Amino acid sequence: MKLTVFGATGGTGAHVVRQALTAGHQVTAVVRDPARLDVPAQPRLEVVTADVLDPDALVPAISGREAVVSALGPRGRGPSVICRDGTSSIMAAMTTAGVRRLAVVSNSGMHREGDGWFTRLLFKPVLIRILREGYADMGEMERRVTASGLDWTIVRPPKLSDGPHTGRIASETRGNVRGSFTISRADLADYVLRAVADPALSRVAVSVAKG
């Protein structure tokens, strides 16, 4: 598969790039600073420097590809628009390029469907208040993605860790994964690559966690 990956210098995005290359995919990593991409140069990796907020600059990095993965995420707890505006820019470029398949990383923390009563009524309200700025950004991103008309998949992980790649991943399309509250970035990347290749997950939001 020919993939374009945004957020490739982030914790999850770098795993997506590495695992995609290991699986034999051809990867275009779109970055602002190539020096921050911790992936060795190789023939199946193309690194493109572009501003994710400039749709016209993204079209060449998306044209001719089969799918796009966005692992964009806010940095810190302050106000952010990178997820909503960056993803809107990506989707505009996809429309121009004629590419329809999109997988985006969001979060399960701002959603309560499927949670147990303690998590839903006591823990989540505190978490949502603490992370309200980032959640507002991702929430608006989700709304724009679902309204886009593209063949999208939204992947919602809980708390991310730097643990190993285990391949043991639980998923749920009817709410959050119950009883599991973390996942490694490596396992999240694994699932994102599975999802973007799975037509059955088109126009589906799926929560994932350590299995």
Task: Delineate the domains of the chain, giving CATH numbers in brackets.
Answer: 2-210 (3.40.50.720)
Give the number of other Cβ atoms within 10 Å of residue 181's Cβ.
16
Distance of alpha carbon 86 from alpha carbon 101, whole angstroms: 16
- Of 77-81, 114-118, 175-179, which one has max mean pLDDT? 175-179
**Considering the entire predicted model, what is its pTM?**
0.93
- Say whether pLDDT at 117 is over 60: no
Q: What is the band of 115 on the pLDDT scale with cuts at 50, 70, 90?
A: low
- DSSP-derived 3-state class of residue 197: coil
Q: How is residue 147 written in tokens?
A: 């309204």
Distance of alpha carbon 132 from alpha carbon 150, whole angstroms: 27
Q: How is residue 31 written in tokens?
A: 């970055």
- DSSP-derived 3-state class of residue 180: coil
* Single-letter amino acid, residue 145: V
**Residue 179, φ and ψ in degrees, nearest 5:** 85, 5
